Amino acid sequence: MRSAKIARKTAETDISVEVNLDGTGAYDNATGVGFFDHMLDQLARHALIDLSVRCTGDLHIDDHHSVEDVGIALGQALSAALGDKRGIRRYGAFHLAMDDALVRAALDLSGRPYLVWDVDFPTAKVGTFDTELVREFFQALSTHSGLTLHVTKLAGINSHHIAEAAFKAVARSLREAVEPDPRRADAIPSTKGTL
């Protein structure tokens, strides 16, 4: 099983993350930030990875540290679960339509973190959640998993739909990229011989 557990504790957050890349999309996420939990649930469900996140954070300040630090810990768990990346497809891309929103995600499990974020939100918040934190999460995930990630909003007028489409598009891209490649089961997918 390609799985990992990560614990991260700072003066601002106390986080544990468990991930199984060969799961069924089961999830059990509790960060204290309701909308963010909903997005993490979508990530697990549509990537077909099992995901459990526990986070106690300084929510009396705001949601920023919790969301960013979960991205860090999840990125570390993803990297650990992938190991040397032998036998994976490596690349993934998906267009995700959700009502008014259309988001494209493309990614490379290259070991070279880079985020291109071309997503704007018409509102600053979804409920009490700051929409700018969606980018913060994906920046942290990209940096700490060694993921090249491009996310582009092609259409959308509802901030909730745009955020959810982004998480689901990344999830479907991730699902494709981490899947075993039956034609190259024992190979690292790089001419360099390492990722």
pLDDT digit string, tens, across residues 75-130: 999 999 999 999 999 999 999 999 999 999 999 999 999 999 999 999 999 999 99
The answer to whether position 189 is within a domain reads no
The answer to whether residue 185 sits within a structural domain is: no
25 occurs within a structural domain: yes
The answer to whether position 188 is within a domain reads no
Each residue of 24-79: pLDDT tens digit? Answer: 999 999 999 999 999 999 999 999 999 999 999 999 999 999 999 999 999 999 99
190 occurs within a structural domain: no
Q: What is the predicted pLDDT for the residue at 33?
A: 98
| β-bridge mates for residue 92, sequence order | 107
Which structural domain, as residue segments, surrounds residue 120?
Answer: 3-178
- Give me the mean pLDDT over the 154-175 stretch: 98
**Residue 194 in domain:** no
pLDDT at 71: 98
Work out the end-to-end distance of the chain between its first and last CA atoms, rounded to an integer number of angstroms: 20
Mean pLDDT of 140-164: 98
Tokens of 104: 């494209």
pLDDT for 166 beyond 90:
yes
The full DSSP string for 53-113 is EEEEE-TTT-SHHHHHHHHHHHHHHHHHHHTT-TTB--EEEEEEEETTEEEEEEEE--S--
Q: Is residue 41 part of a domain?
A: yes
Q: What total number of domains does the chain contain?
A: 1
Residue 191 located in a structural domain: no
Q: What secondary structure, in 3-state letters, does 113-180 show?
A: CEEEEECCCCCCEECCEECHHHHHHHHHHHHHHCCEEEEEEEECCCHHHHHHHHHHHHHHHHHHHHCE
Kindly state the percentage of the chain with pLDDT values over 70: 100
Record the tokens describing residue 24, joined without a space: 């069924």
> How far, in Å, CA of 172 to CA of 76, rounded?
19
The two structure tokens encoding residue 166: 């982004």
What does DSSP assign to residue 48?
T
Kind and range of the H or E run holding 36: helix 34-47
Q: Which pLDDT score is estimated for 114?
A: 98
The residue-averaged pLDDT of 149-167 equals 98
**Alpha carbon distance 195, 193 (integer Å):** 7
Q: 56-69 in b/e burial notation, b at 16+ Cβ within 10 A?
A: ebeeeeebbbbbbb
Task: Note whether 52 and 29 are within 8 A (CB).
Answer: yes
CATH number of the domain residue 8 falls in? 3.30.230.40
User: CB 81: neighbour CB atoms within 10 A?
Assistant: 21
pLDDT category at 1 given cuts 50, 70, 90 is confident
